[in-house]
Structure 1
Amino acid sequence: MPIDRDSLRAFLATVHPYDALPPETVEALLPAFRPLSLAAHRSVYTMDQPLEGLYLIHSGAVAVTDRNGVQISALGPRNSFGERGLLRDGRAVTAAETTADSLLLVLSRDAFLKLVETQPAVTKFFDRTRPARPKRADLATSRVETLMATTPLTCPPETTVQKAAQMMAERHVSSICITAGDALKGIATIRDLSGKVVGGGLPFDTPITDVMTANPLTLPPSAIGSDVLHMMMERRIGHVPIACDDRLVGIITQTDLTRFQAMTSAELVSEIAHAPDADAMARATARIPQLLVQLVAAGNRHEVVTRLITDIADTATRRLLTLAETKLGPAPVPYLWAACGSQGRQEQTGVSDQDNVLILHDSFTEDMRPYFTDLAAEVTKGLDTCGYVFCPGDMMASAPRWCQPLSTWRTYFRNWIGKPNPEAQMLASVMFDLRPIGGDPTLLQDLQNETLDGAAKNSIFVAHMVSNSLKHTPPLGLLRGFATIRSGEHKNQIDLKHSGVVPVVDLGRVYALQGRLTAVNTRARLEAAIAAGVLSASGGQDLLDAYDLIAETRLEHQAALVKAGEAPNNYLAPATLSDFERSHLRDAFVVVKSLQSALGHGKGMLG
C-alpha cells in the first residue's frame, strides 16, 4: 500500500515528536521512510534479529511481546516501536506481530539514529536513558567521595598527645584519625586536645588513645553531602571519617561543606534533634511537605529527595528514643530499634506511616518486658504525633510480637524460610528491608547475613518470594492505555505506589535475595544486582531508568498536590499528563512488566 509524499508529510504532522521538528528537517526525512504493508497475524520481526529501522504504525494494529511470549503492548496508529533495540545494538529486544491488516512506515536505522543525535525533541522522546545535562554540583546531590579529603591525617595508637598536636599543626588540620593499619580506631580533634589535655592538665606524653573518641561515627563514600551535614547537626560533631568496610578512606569537616540546597532539611534535622518533646518535633515535621516541594522544584533526583526526607524520620526516632530513656531510665539490656518499609529502604515521600521493630539482646528476660513496652509506646506514639501514623497492620515495636530477643528473631526468620506460606512470604518481604535506626546495630548485622544465606540456599523459599513479588503488577491496559482504578474515590486513577514503585521494590528485594546482597535501598539493590551479575547490564539499566521515571513522576505528583494546597497522595489521573508523559510512563511500566515476566519464567537476567 503506497503512500505519497504529501500524505506522509501530513501524517507526520500529527505524530510526536515529528510535529516538533523544523519543516526542512521533516522534508529531508521523507525519503527515509519506507511503507510496509502486512496482513493480519504476520510477523514484523522476531526476537534478536537485526532491525531495519523504527516502525511507525500508519494504520492497523501490532502486538509486541517479550522474550517469554508475554504480550506487553497492543499498539495502534501513530504508535512507534523498535526504538529500544535500535538504541542498544540494532537487534530486537522484543517481538512484534500484526493483529490486523496494517500499513507500517519504517524509518531507516541510520536516519533514526541521526535524528536522536541531532534533534532534542527526538532525543527526549525516544532516548529517555540518555543522561540530562549535568547540573551544577551541590551538597544535596554530591556523593561524599567527591567532597571528602582523601588523605586524612593519621597516627598509630601509641602516639602521644604532644606528637599528635605537632602533626596537626604541621598539616594545618583540626583532627587526626587513630588507625591500626587501615582500620579506624578513633578520632581526636583540636577541641579534644585543648579541653582534655590543656584544660584537664594531662601530661604531654599521654597516649592519644586516652583522649580520642573511640569507634567514631562514620559514613561510606556512597553517602551524600546531606548525610554528613545531618549527622553533624544531630550529633553536634564537626568531623566525620569516611570508611569503607571499616577501612579509613577519607574525612569531611564542617569547613568542607556549604549548606546550599540541603540547608532546609538540615534545619529540620537540627530542630528535631534538640526538640524537648514530640509536640515540638511535630511542628518541624509538619514542614516536610513544603520541603518536598522545594527539593523537587530544585531538580533533585528521587533517591536524593527520599533520602533527605527519611533522614528526618530517622532523627525523630532517635530523639524520641533519647527522650524515652530520659523518662524511663537506661535500658536493662542492649537493644536495636530498626525500621522496615519505606523508612528502612530510605524511600520515604510526603506520605508515610511507621513500620518498626525492637530486637533485644539475648540476655533479656520477661521481667524486663514492661520497660520495653513503655519504651515502644513512647516512641510509636511520638512518631504518630509527628505525622508518621500508626501502621494499619500493627507492624510496630509496640506489638509484643515485634519486640523480641535476637534468638526469637532468628527463629522467626528460620520458620518463614522453612515454611513459606502466604503470611511468611509477606512478613519475610517486610523484614528483609530492616535497617538500624537507634541502639546497638550489631544486633541486626549477623541476623541479616544469616538470613540472606539461609534464604538464598532454599530454592522453594526463593520460588515463593519470586511468586510473591509478581502480585503487584504495573497498570497496563490495552491500546497503549493504562489500567486505571474502576470505581470509588480514585476512579480513573493509577496507584503510583502499589502499581508503580512497589513492583520494582519487590524485584529489587528478590535480586538481593538471589545474590545475597546486603543493600536495603531499592536503587542500591538494583545497582548491586547488576554488579554481581544477578541482573544483566542492559536489563538492569532499563529497570533503573524505568524506576527513576516512575519514582520521579510520583514525587512530582505529590509536590503538585502540596502546591495546590492539598495533602500529598499516590493516586495520579493519567488524563492530567501530556501525551509525551503518558507515553514514557507507560514505557516504564512495560519495562517493569518485562522484568517481572523474565523473573517469573526463571530468567532473572534479562538481556
Structure 2
Amino acid sequence: MDSPLADVEGFLAQTPPFDGLAPPQLRRAAAAFEAVYRRSGTEVLRIGEANDTLWLVRRGAVETRDGAGNLVGRYGEGESFGLQSLLGARPVRFRAVLIEDSLLWCMPRAAFDDLRAASRAFDDFYIRSLEQRLVGALEGSAAGKQTATLFLTPLSQLARRAPISVPRVTPVAEAARAMSAHGVSSLLVGEGGELEGILTDRDLRNRVLAQGRDPSTPVSEVMTSAPLTLDADSPVLSAIVAMAGRGIHHLPLVREGAVVGMVTTRDLLSLQTHHPLYLAAQIQKQDTREGVVDVCRRIPQLFELLLASGLRAEEVPKVMSTLADAVTRRLIHLAQARLGPAPAPWAWLAFGSQAREEQSLRTDQDNGIVYADDAPAGADAWYAALAREVSDGLDACGYVYCPGGIMATTPEWRQPLSGWLRHFARWATLPDPTAVLRVSIFFDLRGIDGDAGLVARIREAMADCAGGRGRAVFLSALARQAAQYDVPLGFFRQFVLQRQGEHRDTLEIKAAGLLPLTDLVRVRALQGGVTVASTRERIAALVARGAMDRAEGDRLDGAYRLLCGLRVRLHADLARRGEAPHNHLDVRRIGHAERSALRDAFLVIREAQDALKQDFP
C-alpha cells in the first residue's frame, strides 16, 4: 500500500529545491510539513511578529507588501514566502496576505534548518533573488549546465603576444618591414600608450600599393583612425559580434585604457570553423546572390551549435541578427556593383526584430530606405531597383517578404529624409491606439548600411515624437497598446493555455510574453529619451539615466532573458525534429523551475503594465 505521504513526496520531488534532495531527506521533508487551508484575504504574516515557519504554497497565491503598502512579491504553487524573517531570525518585514483561497504547507524551523545543513544546494536556493530565479531557470537546464566554451572564453587568452606599435610619422615602407619581421598582419599607431590608429596589411595593399603612394608616406595618412577596441576580459562572443557586424579583421584589446593585445579573425577561426564569424566571413566573400543563399543554408545548423557550445540561449538572437546584417550588407554591395554609384547619400534601415537584434529562425524582413533630399530628379528609380534586388535576395536567403509590406520595395517606406521626417511628425499626433499599433514597428530602428548621418536625423525625429506638443497623446496611445495584452495567468497562477486548434494546450510565448514586454519597454524608452533599439540596451540605458529603478530594470531584464531563452530553445527543438519553427510552447515539456520562473516573468510584465496604466491613465 502506498505511504500516506506519497502524494506529498511526489509534489516535492517536482518542486525546487526539494527535487535535489536525496530520497531519505525528501521523506523527512514530506513528514515535517503540516497542511493548512485558509481563505482569500487571510493575513498569514504580520509586520513585526516572529516567524519560525517555512511557508510553501501548495495551491493558491500569496502577496507580500511593505509597511507603506508597496507590493514586494507574489508567490504561487511550489513557492515559499516569509524567508527573510525565517533565515535571519528577525521580525517579519513584509505583510503576507492570501489573494486566493489557498492550501499552505508549513515546516517548523528545526526541520528546515536540518535540511539546510544536509544540502548546500537546498540552502543556496533560498537566498536567490527573483532576478536570479528568472535567469537561473534557464541556466539550470541541460544546455545551461554545459561548460562555457569558446563563446565565453576571455579574449585575453587569445592574445599570445604584446602588440607592436609605431609612431604616426613612421614611413609605410618601414612599417611594412616591421610587420614582416614580427610576423604580424597589423601594427598599432601611437606613442606613450596612446592609440591613434591601426595599420593592417589590407591598408598597405589598398591605400599604398593600389594607389601608387610613395614608400616614405607616413602611416598616419593611410591608417584607420580611432579603431574599435574591446576590454581584454570581454568574452569571445563580443569580438564575434563586433567584428562580423563591422567587417573588420583586427581588434585591439585594452585594459584600464592601455592596449594589451590584439586578436584577429584568424585567432577566432582557429577555435572553431563553424561559428558565426566564419559564416559572416564566407558571406562577405560571395560574389553572387546564389553564393550568399548557399551559405545561408547553414544558418539553422549554426543555431543548434550556438546552444550546444554553451552560449546562453538569450544571446543567440543577437548572433542571428548579426548574420542577418551581414547578409543584408552583402546583398546591398552586390546590387550596387550592378546598378552603379548611388545618385545621392542614402541608408538602409532595419525595423522590428532585426533592429532590436532579437531575431530567431524563420523571420520576415522589415526594412526601408532613406536618401538625401538633394537627390536629383528620378533618383528614386535607382533606390527602387536596389530595394527590389536586396529584398528578393533576402527572401531567397530565408528572410521572407513582410506580409504587411514593410519593405523598401514599398514607396511609402522608401523616402527622402524629408519624407521620413513627415512620417514621424504625423505619427506623433496619432491618438488612435489601432493606428499607433500599425506604426510602432518603426520605433525599433537601426541603420544597416549607408550614411549614418541620415539615420541619426531619423532617430532625432523619433525622439521628437515623445518630446513634442503631442507627447502625452502619443505616449498614452503607445502605453494603451502595450498594456492591453492579456498576461496568460489565471486563478492559482495557472497558465491560461490555448483551448483549440493545432496548438491546443500551449502558450504562444512571443505574443503572450515577448511582445508585451518589448512594447512596454519601448514606451519607457521613448518617455525617457532613449533611442537605442535593443530591448536590453533600452533597459540598461533607462536604469543608467535614473529613469527606471534598478530593481525594476533587473526584473524586466530577467524576464526578457527567460522568455527569449525559452523561445530559442523551442525553435532549436523544432529544428532538430524537422518541424517548422513556431512560438507555441508546451509548458509540460519544461522543468518545474522553468514553469515557476515563467510565472514570475508574466507577473513582472503584468506589474509593469499596471505601472503604465497608472502613469498614462
The answer to whether structure 1 residue 304 and structure 2 residue 315 are counterparts is yes
- Measured after TM superposition, the shift of residue 409 of structure 1 is 1.5
SS at match of 2:55: strand
| Number of the residue aligned with 1:593 | 606
Give 1:40 shift: 4.9
8 Å contact 1:33–1:108 — kept in the other structure? no
1:432 to 436, 439, 443: 443
Q: Kindly tell me: are residues 9 and 587 of structure 1, through their superposed partners in 2, closer, same or farther at Cα, counting changes over 3 Å?
A: same
Paired position in structure 1 for 2:81: 82
Within-5 A mapping of 1:370-449: 370-423=381-434, 425-427=436-438, 429-449=440-460
Select the residue among 533, 550, 558 that pairs with 1:537.
550
Contact 1:512 1:529 in 2 (8 A): yes
| Alignment-mate amino acid for residue 79 of structure 2 | S
SS at match of 2:566: helix
Shift of 1:384: 1.0
Deviations 1:419-443, CA, capped at 9 Å, x for gaps: 3432553355312211111112221
Q: How do residues 220-259 of structure 1 correspond to structure 2 at under 5 angstroms? A: 225-226=236-237, 228-229=239-240, 238-240=249-251, 252-254=263-265, 256-259=267-270
Letter aligned with residue 334 of structure 2: L
Relative contact order, CA 8 A, sep 6+: which one is greater?
2
Q: Per-residue deviation at 1:44?
A: 2.4
Deviation digits for residues 130-161 of structure 1, max 9, x if unmatched?
A: 57699655443357688779996666755543
Instruction: Give the residue type in structure 1 aligned to 2:572.
Output: A
The answer as to whether partners of 2:45 and 2:94 remain within 8 angstroms in 1 is: no
Deviation (angstroms), 1:378: 0.9
Inter-CA distance 292–422: structure 2 relative to 1 (3 Å threshold) = same
Q: Secondary structure at the match of 2:476?
A: helix
Distance 1:289 1:576 in 2: 22
SS in structure 1 of the partner of residue 378 of structure 2: helix
User: CA shift at 1:589, angstroms?
Assistant: 1.8
Counterpart of 1:503 in structure 2: which amino acid? P
Q: Distance in 2 between matches of 1:273 and 1:444?
A: 23
- Rate the CA distance shift 1:347–1:250 in 2: closer, same or farther, 3 A: farther
> Which among 573, 592, 595 is matched to residue 560 of structure 1?
573
Q: C-alpha displacement at 1:346, in angstroms?
A: 1.1
How many Å separate the matches in 1 of 2:27 and 2:425? 67
1:508 aligned partner: 521
Counterpart in 1 of 2:8? 11
The residue type paired with residue 457 of structure 2 is D
Deviations 1:394-427 (A, max 9, x none): 1111111111111222222222223343255335
Shift of 1:86: 7.4
Kept after mapping to 2: 8 A contact 1:117/1:123: no
Q: Tell me which amino acid in the other structure corresponds to 2:98.
A: E
* Equivalent residue letter for 1:14: F
Aligned counterpart, 1:451: 462
Q: Is the 8 A contact 2:33 2:105 kept in 1?
A: no
Give the match's secondary structure for 2:277.
helix
Q: Aligned equivalents of 1:468 and 1:509: distance in 2?
A: 11
Amino acid at match of 2:106: L
**Does structure 2 conserve the Cα–Cα contact (< 8 Å) formed by 1:51 and 1:85?**
no
Give CA deviations for 1:58-90 in whole Å, capped at 9, x if unaligned. Answer: 6x7445488999999795xx6434278779999
Equivalent position of 1:43 in the other structure = 43
Q: Is the 8 A contact 1:36 1:106 kept in 2?
A: no
Counterparts of 1:52 and 1:147 in 2: how far apart (Å)?
53
What is the CA distance between 1:535 and its match in structure 2?
Answer: 2.6
Alpha carbons 2:47, 2:93 under 8 Å: kept: yes
What is aligned with 1:97? 98
Mapping of residues 158-557 of structure 1, within 5 Å: 158-161=169-172, 174-178=185-189, 186-190=197-201, 192-193=203-204, 203=214, 205-213=216-224, 218=228, 225-226=236-237, 228-229=239-240, 238-240=249-251, 252-254=263-265, 256-260=267-271, 263-423=274-434, 425-427=436-438, 429-452=440-463, 455-456=466-467, 458-557=471-570
Aligned position for 1:574:
587
Preserved contact between residue 175 and residue 188 of structure 1 (Cα < 8 Å)? yes
Residues 334-361 of structure 1, C-alpha deviation per residue, up to 9 Å, x if partnerless?
1110111111111111120001111111
The residue identity in structure 2 corresponding to 1:80 is E
1:56 corresponds to 2:56: yes
Distance 1:547 1:258 in 2: 31
**Matched residue SS, 1:252:** strand
Distance 2:293 2:568 in 1: 22
Provide structure 2 residue ranges, at least 5 long, that are not aligned to the other structure.
none
Gaps of 5+ in 1: 1-5
User: Higher mean Cα deviation, 346-355 or 223-232?
Assistant: 223-232
Deviation sequence 1:270-316 (CA, Å, 0-9, x none): 33223343333223223322221222223311343112211221111
SS for the counterpart of 1:44 is strand
Whole-angstrom CA distance in 1 between matches of 2:183 and 2:334: 39
Give the 3 Å change call, closer, same or farther, for CA 577–187 of structure 1 in structure 2: closer
Structure 1 residue aligned with 2:22: 22
Q: What amino acid is the match of 1:529?
A: L
* Contact 1:73/1:478 (<8 A) preserved: no
With over 3 angstroms needed to count, the CA separation of the structure-2 counterparts of 1:22 and 1:167, relative to structure 1, is same
Per the alignment, do residues 476 and 238 of structure 1 end up closer, same or farther by CA in structure 2, a change over 3 Å counting?
same
SS of the residue corresponding to residue 187 of structure 2 reads: strand
> Could you tell me how far apart the structure 2 residues matched to 1:84 and 1:259 are?
49
- Partner Cα distance (1:109, 1:429) in 2: 55
Letter in 2 for 1:396: M
Q: Tell me what 1:3 maps to.
A: none
Normalised by the size of structure 2, how large is the TM-score? 0.80
User: 1: distance between equivalents of 2:444 and 2:482?
Assistant: 14
Q: Structure 1 residues 99, 432: CA separation in 2 closer, same or farther (over 3 Å shift)?
A: closer
C-alpha contact 1:333 1:364 (8 A) present in aligned 2? yes
Deviation at 1:376, TM superposition (A): 0.6
CA RMSD of aligned residues (A): 4.5
CA shift, 1:171, in A, is 8.2
* Secondary structure of the corresponding residue to residue 505 of structure 1: helix
Q: Distance in 1 between matches of 2:331 and 2:342?
A: 14
| Number of residue-to-residue matches in the alignment | 594
- Answer whether contact 1:74 1:479 (CA < 8 A) is retained: no
TM-score scaled by structure 1?
A: 0.81
Tell me the equivalent position of 1:120.
121
